[in-house]
Amino acid sequence: MSLSKDLTDQFKERMQQNHDDMDINFSIMVLGTNFWPLNAPSNDFIVPTDIQPTYDRFQKYYQQKHSGRKLTWLWNYSKNELRTNYTNQKYILMTSSYQMAVLLQYNKHDTLSIDELLQATAIPKDLLIQVLGLLTKAKVLISDDEEQYDLNPGSCYTITNCL
């Protein structure tokens, strides 16, 4: 674990030296598969464009530091902190990466259908339905479908401004 902290600190230091300002506070835990038998998700999760530059920078940094090693991202184990800017009241949301990927889509749209969210995130539909269920239960999103858990491809979700 201390090696992961050192790696994160070195990465941040390199970004500062290169004047590569990161507007994202980033930390990572690199775990060896020999010691941590965690399985990567089988889906092709699409990294949100908001975090893509940081993702690419770390990938490049890691490959330069440890050439020949494969870096596998375990999005299903990560957590994120999102700060809202769309209401008068500011909120900090603790989310999973999948919740983050859904919520970041609302930076450009007020309403999105399930099909649009599936296409933008590549989160498996059954998992996406769980994510949307949690976000509607927390009143972050509002569904236009009366029966929220029996979603059809045309169901739409709107970001709420009354958290």
Q: What is the pLDDT of residue 49?
A: 93
- Residue 32: band (very low, low, confident or very high) from pLDDT cuts 50, 70, 90: confident
- What share of the chain has pLDDT > 70, as a percent? 87
The tokens describing 56, both together, are 């690419």
CB 141 within 8 A of CB 135: yes
Identify the DSSP state of 107: G
pTM of the model: 0.84
pLDDT digits (tens, 9 = 90+) for 112-130: 999 999 999 999 999 999 9
> For the chain, what's the residue count?
163
The pLDDT value given to residue 112: 95
pLDDT at 117: 96
Q: Are 142 and 106 in contact (CB under 8 A)?
A: no
| Residue 118: predicted pLDDT | 95
**Position 141 pLDDT exceeds 70:** yes
Q: Is the pLDDT of residue 152 over 70?
A: no
Q: What residues contact 49, with CB distance under 8 A and at least 6 apart?
A: 104
Mean pLDDT (whole number) for 2-30 = 75
